């Protein structure tokens, strides 16, 4: 009999989730109804941010954040090279240029000491990414941003439930974005959220997600008017009530899920201490890692990571690689002339990284099976 396939990530759906969704389906509002504000309000409580704006996916949340940061044609935004393409793409959506910053080799987070050299008169913002679930060094980033009048955007798609110097993710930057894709911590099928303490930015993003119109369907129904005005160009980035209801019940379980992820990480960390061919990423002592991903670095001869990937897939362990540095994608080479040599640390670490399975429903047996198989990779080095 073939071994069970262990994916690198997967969602957890409970009876409460299903009941909440069913209730909305039987109600009169499927979208722009009461669940949207309720989810946003729950998200404010969880993140300790003053405002939360729900949107249709994590990429839309980044696009809204770039709009709220007033990123425009010709501007530059500093983005770490090691992230999902969406972080940089959201800058390009606004007609601006992502300027890639190199990363720290042990955390894969943006290297704050590399940022100042990248700042030009066109720089408007710094977008940090909480890679794998660990918050970036926001005090260092904020200090640089403040001295140049820049906005800080945190792409916290990996990090709901993480903390930095005892402050929760969601309040560490001017604008913080989240994704509710099924492989992330909590899911609404597709979904996203932006948190901020800036009332005006929150207002801008509520318009931006609704075509740039200054009111929504329900507020017009309540105040009995058909009049609305589109004051700027926006998009349809709304999250519907079915999804928001699911988001609320998912959020209730987040604390337990983060603990479960941290437990799995501890088991992995302990096992890999004794394996010379495996180096786990480092979590800084002033942060708690929410562990969206558990990433290891493999040190061996050329092509080791590829051989390891193939062997683990063969053994039905769903490993993955996060990510090819963004500047190496064809689009960024073609449009911006970027290529090898721009961010040497990201480029060399990319050859060594492998993402191991990590999700709340993963059993101890599953974890042990992954550990055993990673141990056997020594022979491939
Ligand atoms: C998942 C992810 C996104 C995009 O989120 P979607 O909901 O898939 O649009 C953006 N940035 C990072 C770092 C992500 O992991």
Question: Is the beta carbon of 288 within 6 A of some atom in ligand 1?
Answer: no
pLDDT at 3: 86
pLDDT at 7: 95
Q: State the Cα–Cα distance between residues 139 and 167, nearest whole angstrom.
A: 11
Please confirm, yes or no, whether 184 is among the known catalytic residues.
yes
Probe residue for ligand 1, chosen from 55, 64, 179 as the CB with the greatest number of ligand atoms within 8 Å: 179
Low-confidence ranges of the chain (pLDDT < 50): none
CB contact set of 225 (below 8 Å; sequence gap of 6+): none
How, if at all, do strands 287-288 and 163-164 pair? Answer: antiparallel
Question: Is the beta carbon of 83 within 6 A of some atom in ligand 1?
Answer: yes
pLDDT at 215: 84
CB contact set of 283 (below 8 Å; sequence gap of 6+): 107, 134, 289
pLDDT at 201: 98
Pull the structure tokens for residue 45.
């409580």
Which atom of ligand 1 sits closest to the CA of residue 62?
10
pLDDT at 1: 66
Question: Is the beta carbon of 322 within 6 A of some atom in ligand 1?
Answer: no
Residue identifier of the C-alpha nearest atom 3 of ligand 1: 58
**Strand residue runs (E) in 162-252:** 163-164, 167-168, 175-179, 192-196
Question: Is the beta carbon of 355 within 6 A of some atom in ligand 1?
Answer: no
- 3-class DSSP state for residue 101? strand
Do 381 and 304 contact (CB within 8 A), yes or no? Answer: yes
Pull the structure tokens for residue 48.
């300790």
Q: State the Cα–Cα distance between residues 122 and 80, nearest whole angstrom.
A: 17
Tally of CA atoms within 13 A in the half-sphere of 54 that contains its CB: 30
Distance 178 CA to ligand 1 centre (A): 8
Residue identifier of the C-alpha nearest atom 13 of ligand 1: 84
This model's pTM is above 0.95: yes
pLDDT at 194: 98
Question: Is the beta carbon of 63 within 6 A of some atom in ligand 1?
Answer: no
Catalytic residue among 184, 201, 260, 315: 184
Burial of 243 (C-beta count, 10 Å sphere; 0-12/13-18/19+): buried
Distance 11 CA to ligand 1 centre (A): 15
Do 20 and 158 contact (CB within 8 A), yes or no? Answer: no
Do 354 and 305 contact (CB within 8 A), yes or no? Answer: yes
Question: Is the beta carbon of 57 within 6 A of some atom in ligand 1?
Answer: yes
Instruction: Choose among 12, 65, 10, 64: nearest CA to 246.
Output: 12
């Amino acid at each position: 009999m073939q071994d069970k396939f262990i994916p690198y990530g997967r969602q957890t759906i409970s009876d409460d989730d299903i009941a909440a969704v069913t209730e909305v389906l039987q109600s009169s509002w499927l979208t722009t109804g009461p669940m949207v504000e309720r989810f946003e309000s729950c998200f404010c409580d969880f993140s300790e941010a003053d405002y939360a704006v729900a949107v249709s996916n994590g990429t839309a949340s980044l696009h809204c954040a770039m709009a709220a940061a007033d990123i425009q044609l010709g501007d530059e935004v500093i983005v770490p090279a090691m992230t999902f393409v969406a972080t940089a793409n959201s800058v390009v959506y606004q007609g601006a240029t992502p300027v890639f910053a190199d990363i720290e080799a042990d955390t894969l987070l943006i290297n704050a000491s590399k940022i100042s050299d990248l700042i030009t008169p066109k720089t408007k913002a710094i977008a940090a990414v909480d890679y794998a679930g660990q918050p970036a060094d926001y005090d260092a980033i904020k200090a640089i941003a403040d001295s140049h009048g820049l906005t800080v955007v945190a792409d916290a798609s990996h990090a709901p439930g993480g903390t930095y110097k005892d402050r929760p993710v969601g309040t560490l930057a001017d604008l913080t974005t989240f994704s509710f894709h099924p492989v992330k911590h909590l899911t609404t099928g597709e979904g996203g959220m932006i948190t901020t303490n800036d009332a005006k930015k929150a207002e801008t993003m509520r318009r931006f997600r609704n075509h740039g119109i200054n009111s929504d369907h329900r507020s017009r129904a309540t105040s009995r008017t058909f009049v609305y005005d589109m004051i700027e160009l926006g998009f349809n980035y709304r999250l519907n009530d079915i999804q928001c209801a699911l988001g609320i019940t998912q959020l209730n379980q987040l604390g337990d899920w983060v603990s479960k992820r941290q437990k799995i990480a501890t088991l992995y960390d302990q096992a890999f201490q004794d394996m010379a061919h495996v180096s786990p990423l480092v979590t800084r002592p002033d942060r708690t890692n929410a562990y969206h991903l558990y990433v290891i670095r493999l040190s061996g001869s050329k092509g080791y990571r590829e051989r390891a990937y193939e062997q683990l897939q063969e053994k039905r362990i769903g490993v993955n690689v996060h990510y090819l540095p963004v500047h190496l994608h064809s689009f960024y080479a073609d449009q911006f002339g970027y290529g090898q040599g721009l961010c040497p640390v990201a480029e060399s670490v990319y050859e060594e990284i492998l993402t191991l399975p990590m999700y709340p429903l993963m059993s101890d047996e599953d974890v042990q099976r992954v550990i055993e198989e990673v141990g056997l990779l020594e022979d491939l080095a």
